[in-house]
Amino acid sequence: MPPKKKVAAKPTETETVLESPAQTALAAPSGNPTEVFTLLQEAVAGNAAAINEHVPQLLELVHTAERPDTPLLLRVRFLEFVSRVVADLRDSSALQKIVTSLVHVIGGDDNTPQLLTAALNSFVGLGPVSMMDKKWEYLSCEGSDILMQVMLDKEAFPEPARRAAATALDALVSTAFKSVIKKLVHWISDEREDDDPEQLQRERQLAVTRLTRMVTSATYRAHWTEELQSEVLDLIQRVLGTVDAREFTQLVRIVSHLPICKERHGVPLLELFLSKYDLNSERHLESVTIIGRYVKEGAEFDLLPYLEKSKLLAKPLGSDAHAVLLSRLVLLATRVATSDNAELLFEYVFGQLSALVGTDEALPDNLSVVEALLLAATNIARKSRPRCCTSSTRTP
């Protein structure tokens, strides 16, 4: 098996590490590991919470499972036991020590698919624990990070281990939904440093795929409370300005499936972006036009103040790339406008159309601008009251 890459959870802003791995080195076991194992099995029989009365013995068992000189069968059985009881553990220091040992096992060169599977399954139990207290959320964040690293590393981990990691991640999602989402958004973010751009891209793609599944699958629908949706929108808002156009489109598509966005026909997407970003750059213009693809019929939103604030309506349209973006943005503005907003856009749209096609000169090089303005005029005609046209028509 090829040497493994260093497996360690990447920290995020939301994680709080109670004790660093360097400060949580395990003491060597003081008794016979098999006897300790038997003692613990008897102690938790019928009452899994009793593991909290035997934390030192549990840590001895974990330490023994981490050691390469321990017989493989015992290492596997010890870790399988850990995976069964870790969800009932309530000792912060012990939890962090167990995570550290699991990382060492997974990153070791002397393990087998069976040992890897046992270690990976132990991360599943971190889900219920991390939901008990906000300060423990980092446990499932770390767990999901490590599981996804294993899933991606085809060189270091055999197929059975990567499948086990994927299964464990599915189980972790069901018990620590919010924490896993935070980690996924963090992976998509461009704020991380990585020496390998290709690895970073693979991580992003995996995160996008997983996040899409969590948003669109009926299996997870009950998890999407209004509070969680608001938190996710806030998290995604932070990274919208850091991703490229393709990733931006993927994120917007994901968010468009949230119940809160569906109920309001995609308007929260516009609110999400425009509450943080202005329209003073080509990138931001393109971003809003991308969002427009996911704004559905029935949406109402006043884009005019944002256009005026950036002075986008002060100059005549040409036929360059900027004009194409702006004309599409104006088209979106007329599509989501109320009747009153449509009247306010009337003068600009028809003025630009007159300037572009109302002369004896040839049509502009880029007909996309004309097409967008014609469609915008159609939207205005549908929404405006009759007085809009009559009051704006000059008497010869």
DSSP 231-300: HHHHHHHHHGGGS-HHHHHHHHHHHHTSHHHHHTTTHHHHHHHHTT--S-SHHHHHHHHHHHTTPPTT--
Q: What's the Rg (C-alpha) of the chain?
A: 28
The CA distance from 317 to 254, in Å, is 33
What residue ranges do the domains of the chain occupy?
32-223
pLDDT exceeds cutoff 80 at 301: yes
Residues 6+ apart with CB under 8 A from 79: 65, 102, 105, 115, 118, 119, 121, 122
DSSP state of 134: G
pLDDT exceeds cutoff 70 at 395: no
pLDDT tens sequence across 117-139: 999 999 999 999 998 888 889 99
Assign 318 to helix, strand or coil: coil
The pLDDT of residue 336: 95
The pLDDT of residue 394: 37
The pLDDT of residue 15: 43
CATH code of the domain occupying 32-223: 1.25.10
Region 165-192 average pLDDT: 88
pLDDT exceeds cutoff 90 at 166: yes
Residues 186/208, Cβ–Cβ less than 8 Å: no
The pLDDT of residue 25: 37
This prediction's pTM: 0.79
Q: Both tokens of residue 198?
A: 């290709």
The pLDDT of residue 19: 39
Residues 310/353, Cβ–Cβ less than 8 Å: no
Q: Both tokens of residue 134?
A: 């906000």
In this structure, which amino acid lies at residue 76? V
The CA distance from 235 to 229, in Å, is 10
